[in-house]
Amino acid sequence: MSPREKTRPTGQESLRDSVLGGDLIFLLARANALTLAAANAVLAQHGLKARSYSVLALAADDARPTQRELAEFLRLDPSQVVALVDGLEKRQLIERQTDPTDRRANVLVATDAGRDLFARAQESARAVELGLLATVTPEDHERLAELLRLLAFPD
């Protein structure tokens, strides 16, 4: 009974119109993949990837996050943060300071070199973001960010 007898192949006729084209989870995954690739490409010029860029950003922001807070925020296992921080610290871009209020914890702080690098990297990142959304009004750009924040931080 099911109308499965397609006689001609659809060929490369866009899969976009399939069920997945309306699937938010899929769209999010694909948008993320492309965006991440674009970001990594430009960040490579600064010796960074999206991950290390994010760590550097938070350290440079004077938010003084502990590694654990960072792990939670970036959705990483604490052990992954160790490696990330090791890398940035070896390059003297950030440093670990043991939290005076809790000597178990390390607070991350950017060095001056780290801040400089971040400032430059941030420009690249911003340029990528604007490039990706070049066809969109600033209002829609902001609306997208707002809606993504809802998904990213479901309180």
In terms of C-beta density within 10 A (0-12 exposed, 13-18 middle, 19 or more buried), how is residue 57 classed?
A: middle
Which position among 49, 57, 89, 96 is part of the footprint of a copy of itself (CB under 8 A)? Answer: 57
CA separation for the pair 42, 38 (Å, rounded): 7
Q: Is 115 in the site for a copy of itself (CB under 8 A)?
A: yes
Beta bridge partners of 143: none
CB of 10 to a copy of itself, least distance (A): 5
Residue 120 binds what, of DNA, a copy of itself, none (CB under 5 to 8 Å, by partner type)? none
CA separation for the pair 153, 150 (Å, rounded): 5
Plot region of 77 (φ>0 → left; ψ -120 to 50 → alpha; else → beta): beta
Q: Is 138 in the site for a copy of itself (CB under 8 A)?
A: no
**Nearest CA among 92, 94, 86, 89 for reference residue 58:** 94
CB of 80 to a copy of itself, least distance (A): 13
Q: Which whole-number Å values give the CA distances from 102 to 68, 69, 91, 111, in the listed order? A: 13, 14, 26, 22
Q: Is 19 in the site for a copy of itself (CB under 8 A)?
A: yes
CB of 85 to DNA, least distance (A): 6
Touching a copy of itself, residues 70-89 (CB under 8 A)? 70, 73-75
Stretch that binds a copy of itself, among 77-85, 87-95, 135-143 (CB under 8 A): 135-143
CB of 30 to a copy of itself, least distance (A): 4
Q: Is 149 in the site for a copy of itself (CB under 8 A)?
A: yes
* Interface residue list for DNA (CB under 7 A): 49, 51, 66-68, 71, 76-82, 85-86, 96, 102-106
CA separation for the pair 130, 3 (Å, rounded): 45
